[in-house]
Every structure is written in C-alpha cells, then in structure tokens.
A and B are shown apart, each in its own frame.
Chain A
C-alpha cells in the first residue's frame, strides 16, 4: 500500500504499444515519403507532451508554444544554413560565404549573433537552452507577479505574434517570411536522401520517448502531484509552504524544452524552418493536438498530434479554405463533449477492461487501473 511506482503495468502497456507502432508497424508499412510525414507530425507530439505537463497538469495554458518550437528549429537551421553557405557554393553572391538571403538583403558580413552557430555543439546547446531561457524569463516575469489563467494565455499569444513579426521584419538576419531554406548537409552528410529520412525518423522517435519518460517521471513525482494540486487550489499549495511561482516556471521551461526539440527535429526532417511555425495559428493548433489527445494523458498527446495532423494533410489539402473552420469546430467539440480527449474515451470504454485483463495476466499482486488519467500514485 502507498507504494509509488514509476510506471504501472497499464502505463507500460501503453508505452509498449506506442513503441511497436512507431518503431515497427509504421516504418514497415509506409514508404519513405509517408514515414517522413509521420516524422513531421511527431515533432508536434513533443509540443503536445509538454502541454500535457503545463496545461493538463499545471493548468498553465500557453498559446505560444510555437515560439519555443520555432526557436529550437531556427537554432538548428542557422547551423545548417551556415554549413550550406560555404564560399565555394555561394561564389556567385556579391559576398560569398554568407547565407544567400543575407546577400540579397545587402548584408556584407555575418551578423555577430550568427557567428557561434558555426559550431554544431553550440547550436545543439542553443536548441535546448535558448527556448528554455526565454521561457524562464517569461515565467519569472509572469508567475512571480501572479499573472495566470487567461491573462497568461493572451500574453503568450502576443509573444508569438511579436516573434513572428520580428522574424519577418528582419529579413536580412532571419530569412524573413521564407524562413531559412535550402538546408542540405549535416557535417557534410546529405540530409535529403531517403536514408537520412529513415535515420531522422528513428532519432525523432527515440527523442520523443526520452521526453515521454522524463514527463512520466515528472508526473509520478511529488512535483507532478503538486502541479495537480496547484491547478485546483493554488492558495492551499502556497500556504503549505511552497513557492508556487517556482513550480510554474519549472514546468513551463520543461514544456519549452520539449517544444524546442520538436522544432529542431522538424528542421532536420523538412530541411527548412520558417515563421509560419512560430505564430498564433500554429501555436493554437498545438494546443488542439493536446486537447484532442487528452490533456491529461502523455500518450494521448502523441496520438492527438498524429491524428489531427493526418486529418490536416488529408482534408486540408483538398479543402484548404475549410480546414481552419474544421479545426476550430474540432476544438470546440472536444472541449464540450470530450474534455479528456481520446485518452478519456479510451478510459471510458476500454481502460477498465484492459486493466482487468492485465490483472489476470499478472501475478496475484494488484495493478492500478486508471493511471493515464490521474496524478494518483499509490
């Protein structure tokens, strides 16, 4: 009694099913083009998993996760762009050796803040640290002043809008509305081959599982329960001796770091990064992925990201003008009818049966049923 476990048998089954799906079923059944698409969808799963922690558990709704996704993606894109812009392949520019869009914008030397991105090590660190530090600053500025709820959501949305405008406006430094495109090699290795697509897909799945395990650890720790407690009774947590702001800042930073990894994986798999993944619309879409999957379920978030993106590809390409409306309806529908998303439906119709089945399978010891949906650890 009262034992805490990192993962119940039910959780383990969920992780195993997802692993089989992503590592065996999809790679064996899809051609490389479609697998690459799935890989792209999965980059959003990173964001959705982070949102489960921030929004589902902690009650912090961020409508600006695109900011962190974008910063992560841009950090890696800057490195790849510099690598593709060696003096040899840019010899027709008036200033060879700098990225093409800088040349078009009459820049004659590499801006100082691009310099460190010549190093892969620095760039990889920047992928994680720049968005996390930015989230930390936002968190300190907001949560220490006890800005929360809707006000926080609006501010994050404003930040997403500001960053988009900044990127588009500073074309010479950022590549503007086109973004950073035409990325070709990583340390001399061609990233546009089918083989590279396979490699990146598996790296992406591997990193996603790392994030899922980290998130699971947080969920099952006392910190995870404090997040749930904070969402319900913030004052009670404060008057139990906790500095509430610190916990919010922490989980917001974790969400940002996850989003950033997703962004960087997008850059690698798609070979470009642009402001269209930073702004308000993509940021809200990310919240919808999380809501559809179930905002309290880590695994649900992954399925949400996969399914909504699949729908977007299928319907969005046939009816692009209707897609945003469909997305809005989907969001409203999920929130009204299935507040716990796909994971909630699973729990309602299958969860108990699976738990019982697992019980029978296992030794006489009791297993815990409704794990995916509660912070409960016993």
Chain B
C-alpha cells in the first residue's frame, strides 16, 4: 500500500484503523471516492459505518492509516479545519438549532465570519440573504425561513441539516442515515435532492433501506466488523453471497 502517494480521487482512505480498548472498530480499511460520486456504505449494526465517518471528519482519531482529501492529510487536522477544508458531515439524528429560525440556522453555517471577532462583526448583507434563500429553495424550506426550526417536521429537519451543509459548499458531503424516519414521499424527494446536490461534489451516505440505496448509489461499500466485505454497484452487491449471508438475509 502506498501511503501518502498522490491520487486523483477526492477521498483516499488507506489502512484506516481505530481500536477502542483493543477492539478494532475499523480494521485496516481502504477505499476511494471519485469526484461527483454518490457512495453508499451499508452493513449490519456495529459494522463501523458511523465510526468511518467520525474518523474522516475528525470526531474520532485514527489509531493508524491515512485519510486524504484532495491529497491533503486529514487525520491530524482539528474538526473545524477539516470542515474548512471542504468536508461536511450530517449526523444521524437531526442536529439543528431548535431555538433559532430556519434562516438563522442556515446563516450560522454560511462560510464567512467564523472567527470570534469575525462573527461578532458579521453583517447580514444581500449576499448572505441570497445564498440562504437559494439553499432554502434547494432543500424545500423557502416557506419556513422565518419560523423557529423546532416547528419543522422530522423530515424537514433532516433537509435543514443537509441545507446547513450545502451552504458551506463542501466538496465532500457525508450523510448518516438521511432518510431515517421519513415518509415515502419525503424519501423520494430526498433521493432527488441527493442527485441534484451531488453535481460537482462527492457524497458518502450511510443507509439501511436497500431500495433507497439502489436508487441513489453509484457504488456501494459493504462493511462488516470494521472491514470491507464487498464493493461494487448496488446490483452486484445485492447478488454477493457473502453480503446476503451477513447482512441482507436470504
């Protein structure tokens, strides 16, 4: 394995390992994500899916291995520097600010005035308002901008959080179960949304719903006990006997 070599991939994960008290939650994992690709990670509970996202975005520190984003090593950077490098992360449960309005939720994520004094003297100018409106339109929340985010439905909260990432214009977007708890209609709208926003950026999605996976995935990576069990198109992965054995069931 050639650690540190330059690649054309947006994201190159190589030999990534993390152990918690001797338990290897992620074990010598390597995978590569292309530009404008939607990659879906599936696997049984405890396979290490969320941990992989945590490792990429710096929430958990790797024991070994490398994560390179556009050939920049991320494993030593602090979380906010990883974000500023262009990696956005959505959490499994919607993490939004209930007490603030939808507008303010989006505005906080606008990538300007991120220092203490920058934010103290941040001006809400037309560029900010326009950008917030544009993103709100993308995530179907134009009508709700002035309301407190607490009043949104569960699905809308998920979209708001995706919008909060979009406004940062990340080159890599990582979404942990974005359609969990959504209605059928909302799932379809979310699939549309993901296809629209993957133009010009890469997306990594953790998902359980195989129909949804088939609908959105360019490639699927199957994790099992911290290792890659299979990788390929959704169709190919579905046919893989090992995957059927440990995850999909007969």
A-side residues, CB < 8 A to B, are 1-4, 218, 221-223, 225-226, 228-229, 232-233, 235-244, 246-247, 250, 374-378
CA distance A222 to B119 in the complex (A): 5
Give the chain A neighbours of B98 by CB distance below 8 A: 232
Restricting to B94-132, which residues have a CB under 8 Å from any CB of A? 95-101, 103-105, 107-109, 111, 113-116, 119-122, 124, 129, 132
Which residues of A are found within 8 Å of B164, using beta-carbon distances? 236, 240
Stretch of B36-44, B77-85, B186-194 at the chain-chain interface: B77-85
Q: Are B146 and A1 in contact (CB under 8 A)?
A: yes
A residues in contact with B145, CB < 8 Å: 2
Residues in chain A near residue B115, CB distance under 8 A: 243, 246
If A2-B129, A222-B108, A241-B80 touch, does A250 touch B97 (CB 8 Å cutoff)?
Answer: no
Q: Are B122 and A378 in touch, CB under 8 angstroms?
A: no
Question: Measured between alpha carbons, how far is A2 from B148 in the docked complex, in Å?
Answer: 13
Alpha-carbon separation in the docked complex, A374 to B149 (Å): 13
Contact status A2-B103, CB under 8 Å: yes
B89 at the interface (CB under 8 A from A): yes
Interface residues on B, range: 35 or more
Of B96, B104, B111, B116, the contact of A247 (CB 8 Å cutoff): B116
- B161 / chain A contacts, CB cutoff of 8 Å: 236
Task: Give chain B residues whose Cβ lies under 8 Å from the Cβ of A236.
Answer: 91, 95-97, 161, 164
Please give, as numbers and ranges, the residues of chain A lying within 8 Å of B111 by CB-CB distance.
241
B116 to chain A, nearest CB (A): 5
Q: Pick the contact of A222 from B57, B59, B88, B107 — CB < 8 Å?
A: B107
Give complex CA distance A374, B164 in Å: 21
| Cβ-Cβ contact count across A and B, 8 Å cutoff | 102
Contacts of A378 in B (CB 8 A): 101, 103, 146
**How far does the Cβ of B40 sit from chain A's closest Cβ, in whole Å?**
21
Q: For A376, what are the chain B residues with a Cβ–Cβ distance below 8 Å?
A: 99-101, 104, 148
Within 8 A of A (CB), among B198-237: none
Instruction: Give bound CA distance, A366 to B125, whole Å.
Output: 21
Question: Given the known A-B contacts A221-B119, A222-B107, A250-B116, are A232 and B99 also in contact in the complex, defined by CB atoms under 8 Å?
Answer: yes
The residue in chain B whose Cβ has the minimal distance to the Cβ of A241 is B83
Q: Which B residue's beta carbon lies closest to that of A222?
A: B122
Closest 5 CB pairs of A and B: A241-B83, A222-B122, A236-B95, A223-B119, A229-B97
Considering the chains assembled together, what is the distance between the CA atoms of A243 and B80 in angstroms? 6
A243 touches B78 (CB 8 A): yes
Q: Are B91's CB and A235's CB within 8 A?
A: yes
Contact partner of A240 among B59, B103, B109, B124, CB < 8 A? B109
Judging by beta carbons under 8 Å apart, are A235 and B96 in contact? no
Listed by A's residue number, 24 A-B pairs whose Cβ atoms lie within 8 Å are A2-B124, A2-B129, A2-B132, A221-B122, A222-B113, A222-B122, A223-B116, A223-B120, A225-B104, A228-B99, A228-B100, A229-B97, A232-B97, A236-B91, A236-B161, A238-B83, A239-B80, A239-B91, A241-B109, A246-B115, A376-B100, A376-B104, A377-B104, A378-B146
For residue B168, CB closer than 8 A to chain A, the reply is: yes
Give A238 to B80 CA distance when docked, in angstroms. 6
* Bound Cα distance from A232 to B89, whole angstroms: 17
CA distance A15 to B84 in the complex (A): 40
Whole-angstrom CA separation of A237 from B164 in the bound complex: 11
Q: Contacts A2-B124, A4-B124 given: A242-B146 contact, CB under 8 Å?
A: no
Task: Tell me the nearest residue of chain A to B95, going by C-beta.
Answer: A236
Minimum CB–CB distance for B124 against chain A, Å: 5
What is the CB-to-nearest-CB distance from B122 to chain A, in angstroms, rounded to a whole number?
A: 4
Q: Please indicate the chain B residues that have their CB under 8 angstroms from the CB of A232 in the complex.
A: 97-99
Q: Is the CB of A228 within 8 A of B97?
A: yes
Q: Compute how far the CA of A378 lies from the CA of B100 in the bound complex, rounded to whole angstroms.
A: 10
Residues of A within 8 A of B95 (CB): 233, 235-236
A372 to chain B, nearest CB (A): 14
A242 to B113: give the CA distance in the assembly, Å: 9
Residues on the B chain within 8 Å of A4, using CB = 124
Question: Which of chain A's residues has its CB closest to B122's CB?
Answer: A222
Q: Say whether B59 contacts A235, CB under 8 Å.
A: yes
Question: A218 and B120: CB pair below 8 A?
Answer: yes
| A226 B119 Cβ-Cβ under 8 A | yes
Apart from A221-B121, A229-B108, list 14 A-B contacts with CB within 8 A: A2-B124, A221-B119, A221-B120, A222-B108, A222-B120, A223-B120, A225-B107, A225-B108, A228-B100, A229-B105, A236-B161, A238-B79, A239-B79, A241-B111
Q: Which of B78, B108, B113, B164 has the most CB of A within 10 A?
A: B108
Residues of A with C-beta under 8 A to B109: 240-241
Contacts of A246 in B (CB 8 A): 115-116
- Write the chain A residue with the least CB distance to B174: A239
Measured CB to CB, the closest approach of chain B to A222, in angstroms, equals 4
CB-defined contacts of A3 to chain B, threshold 8 Å: 124
Query: Is A233 touching B104 in the complex (CB atoms < 8 A)?
Result: no
Docked pose: A250 CA to B119 CA in angstroms: 12
Bound Cα distance from A204 to B97, whole angstroms: 37
Please state if B80 and A242 are interface contacts (CB–CB under 8 Å).
Answer: yes
A229, closest chain B residue (CB): B97
Q: A7 → chain B, closest Cβ, in Å?
A: 16
| Cα distance, A246 to B116, chains bound together (Å) | 7
Task: Write the chain B residue with the least CB distance to A4.
Answer: B124
In the complex, per-residue mask of B47-72: 1 if CB is within 8 Å of any chain A CB, else 0? 00000000001010000000000000
Residues of B contacting A239 in the complex (Cβ-Cβ under 8 angstroms): 57, 59, 79-80, 83, 88-89, 91
B169 nearest CB across to chain A (Å)? 11
- B85–chain A nearest beta-carbon distance, Å: 9
Contacts of A250 in B (CB 8 A): 116
Which A residues are CB-close (under 8 A) to B103? 2, 378
Residues of A within 8 A of B83 (CB): 238-241
